[in-house]
Structure 1
Amino acid sequence: MTTTADLESLLAAHEDDAFSPGTLARLDEREAFPDGAVRLLDDAGLPAHYVLTPDGDFSRTVELLRTVARRDLTVAIAHGKTFLGAAPVWVAGTADQVARLAERVRAGEAVCWGLTERDHGADLLASEFTAVAEAAADPIAGGGWRLTGEKWLINNATRSTLACVLARTDPAGGGRGFSLFLVDKRQLPEGSWLDLPKVRTHGIRGADISGFALDGAPVPAEALIGEPGDGIAVVLKTLQLTRIACTALSLGAADHALRLARDFAMGRELYGRRLADVPHVRRILGRAAAAALTVEAVSLLSARSVHTLPGELSATSALTKAYVPTLTQQTLTSLGELLGVRGFLTSPPGGGFAKLERDHRICAIFDGSTVVNRAALLNQMPRLVRQLSRRRADTEGVRAAADLTSPLPPFDRDRLTMLSVTGCSAVQVLPDVADRIRAQGPPQAGPLVDRMLAELARLETESADFVPVAGGLPSTAFGIAEAYERAYAAAACLLLWLENPPLRTGRLGTDGLWLRACLTALLGGNDDEVFDALAGVVLDTPAPEFTLWGGLA
């Protein structure tokens, strides 16, 4: 299997050809697909990591995709889409379906996920794409299906050989009115599949964002994923995986942006003074670094929770997908202000940032927008608050997720649920974690932990009487979701610090520097000293990434 070090070395070796910033920029200008970069990733064996086997490591898949994303988001999105398209089979496919698809994915075949439609967007229950059972046969006993309709704004719609498609199988619709099918385009008769034109987009211009239309396309019974009527449930469970996988894109974008800002600050002088020595600039860099480490902590804990706390992913994945791209985009904005006019140039010396910032905006929309994910979290808030007040949690599952050196248990898809019965253990252990930090942590972290617990108590009070409203949520409710996301982010930072002794060493770990910086930023504080110290580490770090993971990878 490919390691992150192997992949990083390979990409570095191709900085003058397939992964040359200039080459990728020119492809972007022409809105051309990055064929060379994608072939290189195929040859490197990256597709094998899109196969979610029970003995695999989902967090390693996220880290590998992050490695690509820090080079170019378009390439990462174009290549990584295969995981999203194949994931429903890992969640609900038969053993034979899993084996056959795994072989084709490992061989580099692209898979797309046909969910959205031109007139309905994310409203999957309004989908009009249909699948009709062959009249002469019972589909369960071996009959086939006829698929008709259009899917639009689909990544890799044209280039893929396989498509996982959501179709209405009951004219009445509803939660049990849809099913999923894995369609092999090469087995369809001529004329039954029509590729729709590529859609011009503001960002990720070279990606294959297009669509397809089917007209009575025949598919065999074994194309059905799960049972008839399972479609919406399988989609929602699959999103619990793909939403966490999407954080790799934001982590890579943060790595790239910090590197560009660091290089600019180190190489630029203003009035005879190096920009890196200007206090205001250092504070911007330090705060951005704290944000980057915070989203990494959230992503790490959530990705490992796929193995250790799968029953809680309905809540964890929603808050993770809402939080990570949102904070990353805010961080890109602040770094763009630091870069000044160079951040808006489409050619050197600042063109890399302009493309990066533009491309990342789409990440908040993938697999449910921030609003959609916060609404999903709020719909579970009464249960989450009850579990928080009871102080119950799966402490072993949380510790296994937080200990980055602990072997992960096999991924168990049967433990995925539509709603989390046990709440969100990471948030629910915060009071106990605070006690451990006071006993074991750096003294400087004590006041920050106290403030975080006060925020948690306020969240518990304000959400105690919250009841989701059918047909919509008041705008004020989203403040509750944001506060819950911050509580999870704080828990992720505290847990990683406690469970990983190597993260307490070196310049980042001594005196709890990274932990204090992350908590300060989460609380909206302005500790110039801690941000200045963190900026110093950024400026002295020549690696392509600024990461907690590096010390343990």
Structure 2
Amino acid sequence: MSPETTAPHRLLGALLDEQARPGGPFWPAALRELDQDEAFPAEACRVLDEFGLADHYVPAAYDGKLTDFSELIRLIRSVARHDLTVAVAHAKTLLGAVSVWVAGDREQAGRLARQVREGHVVSWALTERGHGADLLAGEVTAERTPEGWTLNGEKWLINNATRAHQICLLARTGEAGDARGFNLFLVDKDRLSPGGYTHLPKIPTHGIRGADISGIGFTDAAVPASAQVGADGAGLEIVLKALQLTRTVCAGLSLGACDHALRLTTAFVQERRLYGKLLVELPRIRRLLADAVADLLLMESVSMLAGRAVHALTPEMNVVSPVTKAFVPSAGDAMIAELGEILGVRAFFTDTHAEGMFAKLERDHRIAAIFDGSTAVNRHALIKQFPLLARASARGGHAVKGLAAAATLDVPLDPLDPGELVLAQHGGCSVLGGLPDAVERIRSLVRAGAAPVGLEQLAGTLLAATAALQEQLATHRPAAGAGSAADFDLARRYELCFAGACAIHLWSHNEAAMGDSSPVWADARWVRACLNRVLRALGRPVDREPDVTDALVEELVRTEGRGMTLLSGI
């Protein structure tokens, strides 16, 4: 596999490692002081600007460098590996701009693209005080005038609301509760008349303390007709389609935070002694470390396949994105909590141990599960599609070519066609629909002596668990309204089956090319570890494999916690 395809994230990673030395803006002590002062990481963001990270927020169609969403996830991961606050503060521009990439006309999108590449900050103003994720309850209004529109109302708890140059704003134009009663606007604050808007105060937060989490209020703010994004009444639809992209990219935040947590923990277990031994030598600690590595690789397999699915399985992103957004941050929270148990009281220190970085990343990462729809919101989005998914499963079939392109890491991707994003997809989920074929490929490899027998057993058990899930979906009727406990339990099981299937697809499509790239690929170690974690979470009895545990921990120690990735060769 050609290293040129991943040059951007490798270049950024090397740059940030250099900037993390004493005196640099990514030096842990400097980041700690900013966090304690609740100060915006302006110098760190400047480094990202000078690198040209914002170019990767702009599609190639508008002279940017965004050609592969899985590569964008890796870029965000590189930043979050050093500091989540910086990653959140900078990447918000992508979230603010993506609706224009989805539905803006070419002139509007081209103008915004130039501004983003020049360093303009864009904020996405969706939520309001008292409404949270209930976008249908939005009270900010847009009234048509001969010249354009007049905006009134407040958007609150908005990232970069104060620092942004442009605000991508969802406003009500029709009756309350009418899904077609909303328009989307790209508001240039510099073009608003004096008194047309007011910045609301920054809100002190438990994590990402330095980020600009604030709000903005509008009072008879006049905006031109050209500020409208997309058609009348399409605002909510555009936002929901844009969320399919942003929810997927948010996985990079969790991957980077977990990279950081694993690196800090690895350093600790190699220096701390207990009962006359290093912690890393104790069986229980080794098991916890191996589980953490498996969790990280499982999160990565979901994130990479989902990022590539943006291009290769675009009409299925209404399923792939909420599953990814629900699974990856919640798995990251659990992983960080388990590593915190290994660190003990040091996980709570704000400066004494490792500049308080573990305590900071643990606090910061809690927001990852809330951004762009909480875990509950994303699971509810999946639950609403259960009947469609059940019918598609009964029909059988899947997007064979699309799944292969999403899962094969050296296959070039077609540009994203935003017109293929849909809100309801009747074709089902190819990740699960293609699982029987993938398991059969594994069985063939085992018969040929090219894969370990243990992998066949694990894959077969996941296939049986997925079949049982599909049978339950066929008879399940989601509760009206917010959903029942049974609905959410089924959604969680769906996520686990999806995650296990992602691991199988990535391994089966890349094993021949990646088999010698790192020890985690040897003997199918990483996919065996991931399936073991999934099946235990599903309540399926499986035996732990000591050889896998030992191999993963040894590789963790060898790389000092820095090399636990499926993508070391690309």
TM-score range, shorter chain: over 0.9
The question of whether the paired residues in 1 share the 8 Å contact of 2:266 and 2:560 is answered with: no
Secondary structure, aligned partner of 1:421: coil
Cα distance in structure 2, aligned partners of 1:96 and 1:354: 45
How much does 1:467 deviate?
Answer: 2.1
Cα distance in structure 2, aligned partners of 1:343 and 1:119: 34
* Alignment partner, residue 120 of structure 1: 131
The question of whether the paired residues in 2 share the 8 Å contact of 1:2 and 1:44 is answered with: no
What is the TM-score of this pair, normalised by structure 2?
0.94
Query: Is residue 26 from structure 1 mapped to residue 33 from structure 2 by the alignment?
Result: yes
Instruction: Supply the AA of the counterpart residue of 2:373.
Output: G
Cα distance in structure 1, aligned partners of 2:16 and 2:475: 52
What is the TM-score of this pair, normalised by structure 1?
0.96
The question of whether the paired residues in 2 share the 8 Å contact of 1:241 and 1:317 is answered with: yes
How much does 1:503 deviate?
Answer: 3.2
How much does 1:388 deviate?
Answer: 2.1
1:328-377 Cα offsets, whole Å, 9 max, x none, are 10000100001111111111314111111111011001111111101100
Cα distance in structure 2, aligned partners of 1:429 and 1:234: 29
The question of whether the paired residues in 2 share the 8 Å contact of 1:182 and 1:225 is answered with: yes
Instruction: Supply the AA of the counterpart residue of 1:319.
Output: V
Cα distance in structure 2, aligned partners of 1:542 and 1:532: 15
* Alignment partner, residue 3 of structure 2: none
TM alignment of 1:253-402, pairs within 5 A: 253-350=257-354, 351-402=356-407
TM alignment of 1:488-527, pairs within 5 A: 488-500=498-510, 501-505=512-516, 506-524=518-536, 525=542, 527=544
More displaced stretch, 341-350 vs 279-288: 341-350
TM alignment of 1:245-260, pairs within 5 A: 245-260=249-264
From 465, 469, 484, the equivalent of 1:459 is 469
* Alignment partner, residue 413 of structure 1: 418
The question of whether the paired residues in 2 share the 8 Å contact of 1:503 and 1:509 is answered with: yes
| Gap change, CA 1:2 and 1:532, over 3 Å in 2 | closer
Query: Is residue 191 from structure 1 mapped to residue 195 from structure 2 by the alignment?
Result: yes
* Alignment partner, residue 539 of structure 1: 557
| Gap change, CA 1:262 and 1:390, over 3 Å in 2 | same
Gaps of 5+ in 2: 1-5, 446-450, 537-541
Secondary structure, aligned partner of 1:183: strand
* Alignment partner, residue 164 of structure 1: 168
How much does 1:294 deviate?
Answer: 0.2
| Gap change, CA 1:443 and 1:526, over 3 Å in 2 | closer
Cα distance in structure 2, aligned partners of 1:379 and 1:354: 37
1:84-112 Cα offsets, whole Å, 9 max, x none, are 00000000000001100000111111100
Cα distance in structure 1, aligned partners of 2:436 and 2:391: 15
Instruction: Supply the AA of the counterpart residue of 1:317.
Output: S
Cα distance in structure 1, aligned partners of 2:194 and 2:286: 61
How much does 1:449 deviate?
Answer: 1.2
Instruction: Supply the AA of the counterpart residue of 1:170.
Output: G
Secondary structure, aligned partner of 2:514: helix
Cα distance in structure 1, aligned partners of 2:69 and 2:534: 27
Instruction: Supply the AA of the counterpart residue of 1:408.
Output: L
The question of whether the paired residues in 2 share the 8 Å contact of 1:114 and 1:151 is answered with: yes
Please list every run of at least 4 consecutive aligned residues from structure 1 whose deviation after the TM superposition is greater than 6 angstroms.
Answer: none
* Alignment partner, residue 72 of structure 2: 61
Aligned length: 545
Instruction: Supply the AA of the counterpart residue of 2:467.
Output: A
Cα distance in structure 2, aligned partners of 1:546 and 1:187: 48
* Alignment partner, residue 539 of structure 2: none
How much does 1:545 deviate?
Answer: 4.3
How much does 1:6 deviate?
Answer: 1.1
How much does 1:173 deviate?
Answer: 4.3
How much does 1:309 deviate?
Answer: 0.6
Cα distance in structure 2, aligned partners of 1:509 and 1:398: 21
How much does 1:526 deviate?
Answer: 5.5
Instruction: Supply the AA of the counterpart residue of 2:194.
Output: E
Secondary structure, aligned partner of 2:438: helix
From 470, 484, 491, the equivalent of 1:474 is 484
The question of whether the paired residues in 2 share the 8 Å contact of 1:393 and 1:425 is answered with: yes
Query: Is residue 14 from structure 1 mapped to residue 19 from structure 2 by the alignment?
Result: yes
| Gap change, CA 1:488 and 1:469, over 3 Å in 2 | same
Gaps of 5+ in 1: 138-142
Secondary structure, aligned partner of 2:426: coil
1:239-290 Cα offsets, whole Å, 9 max, x none, are 0000001000000011001101111111112232111111111100000000
How much does 1:540 deviate?
Answer: 1.1
Secondary structure, aligned partner of 1:523: helix
Cα distance in structure 2, aligned partners of 1:18 and 1:480: 45
**Aligned-pair identity (%):** 48
From 49, 54, 57, the equivalent of 2:56 is 49
| Gap change, CA 1:72 and 1:92, over 3 Å in 2 | same
Query: Is residue 92 from structure 1 mapped to residue 103 from structure 2 by the alignment?
Result: yes
Instruction: Supply the AA of the counterpart residue of 2:31.
Output: L
The question of whether the paired residues in 1 share the 8 Å contact of 2:84 and 2:208 is answered with: yes
How much does 1:461 deviate?
Answer: 2.0
Instruction: Supply the AA of the counterpart residue of 2:566.
Output: L
Cα distance in structure 2, aligned partners of 1:264 and 1:220: 57
RMSD, matched Cα: 1.3
Query: Is residue 180 from structure 1 mapped to residue 184 from structure 2 by the alignment?
Result: yes
Instruction: Supply the AA of the counterpart residue of 1:208.
Output: D
Instruction: Supply the AA of the counterpart residue of 2:433.
Output: Q
The question of whether the paired residues in 1 share the 8 Å contact of 2:95 and 2:246 is answered with: yes
* Alignment partner, residue 140 of structure 1: none
Instruction: Supply the AA of the counterpart residue of 1:427.
Output: L
